[in-house]
Chains A and B, each alone.
Chain A
Amino acid sequence: MAEKTRILIAKPGLDGHDRGAKVVARALRDAGFEVIYTGRRQTVAEIVETAIQEDVDAVGISLLSGAHNTLMPKIVEELRKKGAKDIVVFGGGVIPPDDIPYLLSKGIAKIFTPGTKLEELIEFAKTIKQLREELRQNG
């Protein structure tokens, strides 16, 4: 049997708007992925620890609070610090186009902005195993 791709959908910080995260979680489920959803208002430490214990292939961060430039790179940094060098991190939310290059430079694999088609997200999710393998090889 082919190994399932496991994805953590996480909402860090003081952001109560979780409709987007739930839509994404359901779309991924319907496309055959195993999605772990931990609810709102998680700390960076909780998200990182969950990703490690669940041994997910990727963490998808939903952020609509404006704190993306702080919290998203922090999650990548903490994951790498804890030895999870190959977990893919991607994000989504109301993120200004000008911030995207910065986030990508901090190790976020992909940013999805409002209006993204779910098909586009699923196409990305299908590449997660491969992206993880690349991270593993590049150390």
Chain B
Amino acid sequence: MDKKQFLQLFEQAKEGDKLALGKALTFIENNREQSWEYLKELNYPDNCKIIGITGAPGAGKSSLIDKIVAFYSDNNNRKVAVIAVDPSSPFTGGAILGDRLRMNKHSLKDNIFIRSVASRGNLGGIASCVYDMAEFLKAVGFERIVIETVGVGQSEIDIVEIADIVLLVLTPAAGDDIQALKAGVMEIADIFVVNKSDIPGADRVKRALESVFIIEGINKPIVLTSANANQGIEELVNTIESETSIIDKNKKIFMRILHSLKEIVEDRIIEFISNKVKNVKISEPAQLYKLLDDLKNSINFSLNKEGEGDLL
């Protein structure tokens, strides 16, 4: 697709053409480097907030998004987009994308757009193209963009770099209090959501969090919700809105651009090396050793030029 075609899809998408929007997102998903060039041409309104939602599988992320999106579109009359990421199989590359199942009744609303994305081997909880897809949706005029991460639990850190605010969804009866102390996901969250508050134990999770906060000197909001019973959604949306009113927009945008660039470089290096490895026949292990030596030499060569010594 050339730039003219891409910009034409953009104009159509801006007018509310979901077919064009769907096609543009596919292009971004499959042609990161090229679309990155095109995305530079667009204007990005600053009334958009990107909301990241993470948490363990089964915590109720999709169901919660269903209710958040409904609240934004029905009560606040906002244009809302959802990018829901599910894992790709590391063995076959295939994926079942099922997040949409919980929110598909919104598909028919004019001001809502939902897109499922497979993680395609990215380990940070979201596919690398999600950054650019979110930027495009922003340029198209969506005012709130909700990104649902894979939800593997403790390595979901990429979302921080793209989202203006990150929600961590916890539930009662999901491990003991020590789970709340584990490093990583705790630090990235801006709002802690205790979902499934209609079942016993939600208060206990809240108290456990509060005691951790006291020890660590953290002051972050905790909101109890039940997506199932549609409780606490208004409070959650209000908390998202008040917590995002003080975001340093420029810093976020700058970080996102750097991250996008980093991803492209990383993708290129990984693809280059994995292609080399794949071409080696396992019947000839000597070739593998030679490849390793070659890689060592070339990496050490480039590092030595910088005067930083050997890496491998």
Tell me which residues from 28 to 59 in chain A have a Cβ below 8 Å from any Cβ of chain B: 28-39, 42, 45-46, 49-50, 52-55
Asked whether A29 lies within 8 Å of B18 as measured between CB atoms, the reply is no
Residue in contact with B97 in the complex, picked from A30, A36, A52, A55, CB distance below 8 Å? A36
B303 on the interface (CB 8 Å rule)?
A: no
A83 on the interface (CB 8 Å rule)?
A: yes
Residue in contact with B113 in the complex, picked from A4, A29, A39, A53, CB distance below 8 Å? A53
Asked whether B101 lies within 8 Å of A38 as measured between CB atoms, the reply is yes
Residue in contact with A36 in the complex, picked from B92, B94, B100, CB distance below 8 Å? B100
B280 on the interface (CB 8 Å rule)?
A: no
A84 on the interface (CB 8 Å rule)?
A: yes
Asked whether B108 lies within 8 Å of A49 as measured between CB atoms, the reply is yes
Q: A30-B89, A52-B19 are in contact. Are A1 and B107 (CB under 8 A)?
A: no
Asked whether B115 lies within 8 Å of A53 as measured between CB atoms, the reply is yes
Asked whether B94 lies within 8 Å of A37 as measured between CB atoms, the reply is no
| Bound Cα distance A25, B101 (Å) | 14
Min distance, Cβ B101 to any Cβ of chain A, angstroms = 4
- Total A-B pairs in contact (CB under 8 Å)? 81
A120 on the interface (CB 8 Å rule)?
A: no
A interface, size bucket: 20 to 34
Closest chain A residue, CB of each to CB of B117: A34
Q: A4-B118, A52-B19, A53-B114 are in contact. Are A46 and B107 (CB under 8 A)?
A: yes
Residue in contact with B19 in the complex, picked from A3, A29, A82, CB distance below 8 Å? A82
**Which residue numbers of B lie inside 8 Å of A, CB to CB?**
18-19, 21-23, 25-26, 30, 88-89, 92-98, 100-101, 104-105, 107-108, 113-116, 118, 120, 271
Inter-chain pairs besides A34-B118, A49-B108, 13 sampled, C-beta below 8 Å:
A1-B30, A4-B93, A29-B89, A31-B92, A35-B96, A35-B97, A36-B100, A37-B97, A50-B104, A53-B18, A53-B113, A53-B115, A54-B22
User: 9 closest Cβ contacts across the A-B interface?
Assistant: A55-B22, A29-B94, A39-B101, A49-B107, A55-B26, A32-B94, A32-B92, A36-B97, A32-B93
